Chains A and B, each alone.
Chain A
Amino acid sequence: MQTPAPFEYERATSVGHALALLERFGPEARLVAGGHSLLPMMKLRLADPEYLIDINDLTDLDYVRLAGDTIAIGAMTRHATLLASPVLAEHYPIFADAERVIADPVVRNRGTIGGSLCQGDPSEDLPAVASALSATLVIQGIDETRTVSARAFHTGPYETVVGPAEILTEVRIPIRPGAGSAYEKVERRAGDWGATAGGCFVVLAADGETVVDVGIGLTAVGAPHFCAEAAEAVLRGRPATAENLAAAAAAAAEVTNPQTDQRGPAEYKRHLAGELTRRALRRAVARARGQEA
């Protein structure tokens, strides 16, 4: 098996300690949480940090809780926890849908939402979920804590706005009463990266017809900031008819820029972007109407 190049290891005991270590070690330092993105890259010698700062002891960042009309998720929350969370199941089943098809159960015991968002892999699922929901991400630095919209968090493949001496600490999602949400993914096999994946939420008016609000997220297809705002605009304020959902789906496919690889040719992925958006919207609408679990 492949093995990493040498590095130094420190274990952080608190967020403050982690930040101090980041500042001390500089740009050759990386945080390691679940490690299932970083360590494989280090073993293949595609990543070569000089310092690894282990933040797995920051258990006070491991939570899913209701704070008024907001769901707050600590950055160290593991995929397995998100999958099993009753709070998320109640308000945003898009999470359980996505988690069910992220990697495999063993990897989900380790990977974290913070790691997933910060890794910024263009095929990662949770960035699409966070973008779909227009989550707010809390970034803590040595001197200040700031918030960034999920839709402004990623600046390119594997690139985020988190600075060298900053840590993502929390993901906040507003509770939207009556919202329905869903996630769809096509993979060649359980545990594979998606050929295409995406999810959405909708909020319907009291009549159960008009789409009051909608968020559409996409991953693995080069959608800027993991979302399809133009498609949302097509649907927002309109009745949730099959035709309108299809139109929004088609618009979502338009914003994609998929790459051909062994998961499929670009035209297939573009087709999937539309098809999966249509299916996710349909299920989200059904859930908003209370018609589907």
Chain B
Amino acid sequence: MATTYTIISSNVLSSSAASVTFSAIPSTYTDLVLRCSVRDSGSSGSSQQQVRVRINGSSSANYSRRNLTGVGSTAASANGTSNTSIAGFYAPDAGATSNTFNSFEVYIPNYATVQQRQVSVFNAFENNSSTVNEINVTAALYTDTTAITSLYIDTVSGLVSGSSFYLYGIKNS
């Protein structure tokens, strides 16, 4: 049986870093799956901080999103247009319970073709407290049509040691 879900590359931070970039992504797969677990190093006051993913390093305003969020017992929805990254999901920061991380998955279908990209994100983190336990589901669109060869991940203040990053390729056969 063909192997259809293959790890392309991975990294676990041994020290803090501002960002992580997967570059020179091969075009030999059908879809990409990015799975990460991160924690932000700053103190936002709300114990959480935004995570950003950028395609091909682009910080142009060519991302849009609709997302559902559950924080504690409160649910909300939001949308964003002309965003400069795939956003709308969060990680615990220095104000959250020590050593808690989020986990999120970004699915990018048909990444090597020349077309706009519909991207889905599922993110969750448990803060081991009564607040800031969060779930985000994001439907994003990247309107640039070039093939995807790199993915950039960061948080507002930076990524702590122990944050992990795994990039998988999926083949349709």
A and B: real partners? no
The chain B residues found within 8 Å of chain A, CB to CB, are none
